Amino acid sequence: MTIAITGATGQLGRIVIDKLKQKVAASDIVALVRTPEKAQSLGVSARAADYAQPDTLDAALAGIDSLLLISSSEVGQRTVQHANVIAAAKKAGVKHIVYTSLLHADVSPLNLAGEHMATETAIKASGLSYTIMRNGWYTENYTGSVGAALANGAFMGSAGEGRISSASREDFAEAAVAILSSAGHVNVTYELAGDTAWTLKDLADEVSRQTGKDIAYHNLPEAEYAAALHSFGLPAGLADAIASWDVGASQGALFDAGCELSRLIGRPTTPLATSVEQALKAS
């Protein structure tokens, strides 16, 4: 069985391929990337594939049995781009699609949910067998700001007391590998999130504990947080989006207590303290 991974040189894709090679032969894995030359370090064959260029997808998917469709990073373009991949997969005779969707996409208040739901609908309408991974937030989305928080003495956000059931990229990658390398996942939708939820104040407290510094959490109104992010150099649209996602977190969008992720990977998800420790070592 030949397994293809889209976005294979991205942060999640690289981990998936590394871990998948421990389960199946490298010769049975194909990396689908815009620039195959950049995928040489992955240790698997690579094919040119661009979500936005359908003419690249037919050849890329030839002979593929299972496809991990990692959602495009181009928010606003995902519905069309993913539809291109799904249509090409059906044409090429792909048997199974695994898709990285959004936690509780069908009821999520996040503005990301619409494109994910459109993709889920397109996959189901294709008639191909599928597995939907409704992934929660990566812990790295927050621990990536540890360095800035230490420099400024505080984390900022608009999540209030919202509980965030995050997990590490490695956790989500292992879930993808489990689905791709074992039976029992046909036409299943998984709600995947970390075992233990936390608030942004909890994150600040954990950084304080590990560094011995007093790191606070400053909760800001959405517009004020967006303006602060923009002042740090983020494009206005991205700053607005990040602030809105924090507000969504305050409304419960990133919380889940089902523990489906840990059951799928056969171990507890990575604790916040461990992710903070790793971020501190890297900062």
Query: DSSP secondary structure string, 50-84?
Result: BTTBGGGHHHHHTT-SEEEEPPPS-TTTHHHHHHH
Beta carbons within 8 Å of 280's beta carbon, 6+ residues apart: 146, 207, 210, 211
List every span in the chain annotated with CATH 3.40.50.720: 3-135
| pLDDT at residue number 115 | 97
* Superfamily holding 3-135: NAD(P)-binding Rossmann-like Domain (3.40.50.720)
List every span in the chain annotated with CATH 3.90.25.10: 137-166+195-256+270-283
Q: Give the start-end residues of each E strand in 150-213.
A: 154-157, 188-192
Those residues of the chain that have pLDDT short of 50 are none
Q: Burial-class residue 205 by CB neighbours within 10 Å (0-12, 13-18, 19+).
A: middle
| pLDDT at residue number 156 | 96
The reported pTM is 0.96
CA-CA distance, 97 to 188, in Å (whole number)? Answer: 11
CA distance between the termini of the chain: 41
* Superfamily holding 137-166+195-256+270-283: UDP-galactose 4-epimerase, domain 1 (3.90.25.10)
Query: What are the backbone angles phi and psi of residue 134, rounded to the nearest 5°?
Result: -85, 90
CA-CA distance, 234 to 75, in Å (whole number)? Answer: 16
DSSP conformation class of 30: E
| pLDDT at residue number 221 | 97
Summarised one tens digit per residue, pLDDT across range 31-51 is 999 999 999 999 999 999 999
| pLDDT at residue number 283 | 79
Tokens of 274: 């461990």
Q: Hey, CA dihedral for 48, 138, 43, 62, is it positive or negative?
A: negative
89-118 in b/e burial notation, b at 16+ Cβ within 10 A?
bbebebebbbbbbbbbbeebebebbebbbb
